[in-house]
Structure 1
Amino acid sequence: MFWTERTESLIHRTAEKTATPMATLVAQEQAAIPLGRYGTAEEFGAVAAFLASPLAGYVTGALIPVDGGLLKG
Protein backbone atom coordinates (compact mmCIF):
# COMPACT_ATOMS: atom_id res chain seq x y z
CA MET A 1 0.00 0.00 0.00
CA PHE A 2 1.34 3.36 -1.06
CA TRP A 3 0.02 6.80 -0.20
CA THR A 4 -0.84 8.43 -3.51
CA GLU A 5 -3.48 10.83 -4.75
CA ARG A 6 -5.44 7.78 -5.90
CA THR A 7 -5.25 6.16 -2.45
CA GLU A 8 -6.46 9.37 -0.85
CA SER A 9 -9.28 9.64 -3.38
CA LEU A 10 -10.46 6.08 -2.76
CA ILE A 11 -10.39 6.50 1.01
CA HIS A 12 -12.23 9.80 0.71
CA ARG A 13 -14.91 8.13 -1.41
CA THR A 14 -15.29 5.29 1.11
CA ALA A 15 -15.49 7.80 3.96
CA GLU A 16 -18.34 9.60 2.22
CA LYS A 17 -20.23 6.39 1.40
CA THR A 18 -19.90 4.93 4.88
CA ALA A 19 -20.03 8.16 6.93
CA THR A 20 -16.76 7.09 8.54
CA PRO A 21 -14.10 9.69 9.28
CA MET A 22 -11.25 9.51 6.81
CA ALA A 23 -8.73 9.38 9.65
CA THR A 24 -10.43 6.24 10.97
CA LEU A 25 -10.20 4.51 7.59
CA VAL A 26 -6.56 5.51 7.18
CA ALA A 27 -5.75 4.19 10.65
CA GLN A 28 -7.51 0.89 9.90
CA GLU A 29 -5.60 0.40 6.67
CA GLN A 30 -2.27 1.31 8.24
CA ALA A 31 -2.91 -1.11 11.09
CA ALA A 32 -3.13 -3.93 8.52
CA ILE A 33 0.36 -3.09 7.18
CA PRO A 34 3.09 -4.73 9.30
CA LEU A 35 5.24 -1.58 9.23
CA GLY A 36 2.19 0.39 10.36
CA ARG A 37 2.27 3.00 7.61
CA TYR A 38 1.80 3.56 3.91
CA GLY A 39 4.80 3.44 1.64
CA THR A 40 5.80 6.51 -0.34
CA ALA A 41 6.31 6.94 -4.05
CA GLU A 42 9.92 7.82 -3.26
CA GLU A 43 10.47 4.48 -1.52
CA PHE A 44 9.06 2.58 -4.49
CA GLY A 45 11.09 4.73 -6.88
CA ALA A 46 14.30 4.07 -4.96
CA VAL A 47 13.87 0.31 -5.40
CA ALA A 48 13.01 0.73 -9.09
CA ALA A 49 16.04 3.00 -9.59
CA PHE A 50 18.30 0.48 -7.89
CA LEU A 51 17.01 -2.37 -10.07
CA ALA A 52 17.51 -0.27 -13.20
CA SER A 53 21.04 0.70 -12.19
CA PRO A 54 24.37 -1.02 -12.74
CA LEU A 55 24.40 -1.80 -9.00
CA ALA A 56 21.77 -4.47 -9.66
CA GLY A 57 23.65 -5.92 -12.62
CA TYR A 58 23.86 -9.35 -11.01
CA VAL A 59 20.22 -9.45 -9.89
CA THR A 60 18.17 -11.79 -12.05
CA GLY A 61 14.68 -13.23 -11.71
CA ALA A 62 14.18 -11.81 -8.23
CA LEU A 63 10.95 -10.93 -6.50
CA ILE A 64 11.58 -7.87 -4.35
CA PRO A 65 8.45 -7.01 -2.41
CA VAL A 66 8.07 -3.34 -1.65
CA ASP A 67 5.02 -3.77 0.50
CA GLY A 68 5.82 -2.90 4.12
CA GLY A 69 5.75 -6.57 5.07
CA LEU A 70 2.32 -7.51 3.65
CA LEU A 71 3.71 -10.48 1.68
CA LYS A 72 4.07 -13.40 4.02
CA GLY A 73 6.63 -16.03 3.38
Structure 2
Amino acid sequence: MENRFFGSIAYVEDAKVDLVPVCPEEVDRVRGIVKGIIDEITKGKIPARPGKQCERCDYFQLCRYR
Protein backbone atom coordinates (compact mmCIF):
# COMPACT_ATOMS: atom_id res chain seq x y z
CA MET A 1 0.00 0.00 0.00
CA GLU A 2 1.33 3.45 -0.95
CA ASN A 3 2.00 6.01 1.78
CA ARG A 4 -0.36 8.96 1.52
CA PHE A 5 0.56 12.36 2.83
CA PHE A 6 -1.67 15.35 3.43
CA GLY A 7 -1.04 18.99 4.18
CA SER A 8 -3.58 21.52 5.29
CA ILE A 9 -4.72 24.94 4.19
CA ALA A 10 -6.33 27.14 6.84
CA TYR A 11 -8.87 29.75 5.84
CA VAL A 12 -8.78 32.09 8.81
CA GLU A 13 -11.80 34.23 7.95
CA ASP A 14 -13.99 31.15 7.44
CA ALA A 15 -12.51 29.19 10.37
CA LYS A 16 -12.08 26.31 7.93
CA VAL A 17 -9.23 23.89 7.28
CA ASP A 18 -8.97 21.78 4.12
CA LEU A 19 -6.70 18.78 3.68
CA VAL A 20 -4.71 18.65 0.47
CA PRO A 21 -2.81 15.64 -0.88
CA VAL A 22 0.98 15.94 -1.02
CA CYS A 23 3.10 13.58 -3.11
CA PRO A 24 5.88 11.57 -1.41
CA GLU A 25 8.52 13.34 -3.53
CA GLU A 26 7.43 16.70 -2.14
CA VAL A 27 7.55 15.35 1.42
CA ASP A 28 11.12 14.12 0.79
CA ARG A 29 12.10 17.49 -0.72
CA VAL A 30 10.80 19.42 2.29
CA ARG A 31 12.43 16.97 4.72
CA GLY A 32 15.74 17.67 2.98
CA ILE A 33 15.26 21.42 3.36
CA VAL A 34 14.36 21.10 7.04
CA LYS A 35 17.32 18.79 7.71
CA GLY A 36 19.64 21.32 6.07
CA ILE A 37 18.30 24.14 8.24
CA ILE A 38 18.62 22.03 11.40
CA ASP A 39 22.22 21.18 10.48
CA GLU A 40 23.05 24.88 9.98
CA ILE A 41 21.49 25.82 13.32
CA THR A 42 23.30 22.98 15.11
CA LYS A 43 26.64 24.11 13.63
CA GLY A 44 26.01 27.68 14.81
CA LYS A 45 25.84 29.06 11.27
CA ILE A 46 22.45 30.71 11.81
CA PRO A 47 22.76 33.25 14.64
CA ALA A 48 19.99 33.96 17.11
CA ARG A 49 18.10 37.21 16.52
CA PRO A 50 16.24 38.04 19.72
CA GLY A 51 13.34 40.45 19.39
CA LYS A 52 9.72 41.18 20.29
CA GLN A 53 8.66 37.83 18.78
CA CYS A 54 10.59 36.01 21.51
CA GLU A 55 7.86 36.75 24.06
CA ARG A 56 5.58 34.25 22.29
CA CYS A 57 8.19 31.48 22.14
CA ASP A 58 7.61 28.32 24.17
CA TYR A 59 11.32 28.37 25.13
CA PHE A 60 11.44 32.05 26.19
CA GLN A 61 12.11 31.28 29.86
CA LEU A 62 14.96 28.91 28.97
CA CYS A 63 16.62 30.95 26.22
CA ARG A 64 20.13 32.24 26.82
CA TYR A 65 19.66 34.99 24.23
CA ARG A 66 16.73 36.82 25.83
TM-score calculated relative to the size of structure 2: 0.31
Which is richer in strand? 2
Specify the structure having the higher radius of gyration (Cα): 2
Q: Which has the higher contact order (CA 8 A, sep 6+)?
A: 1
Which is richer in helix? 1
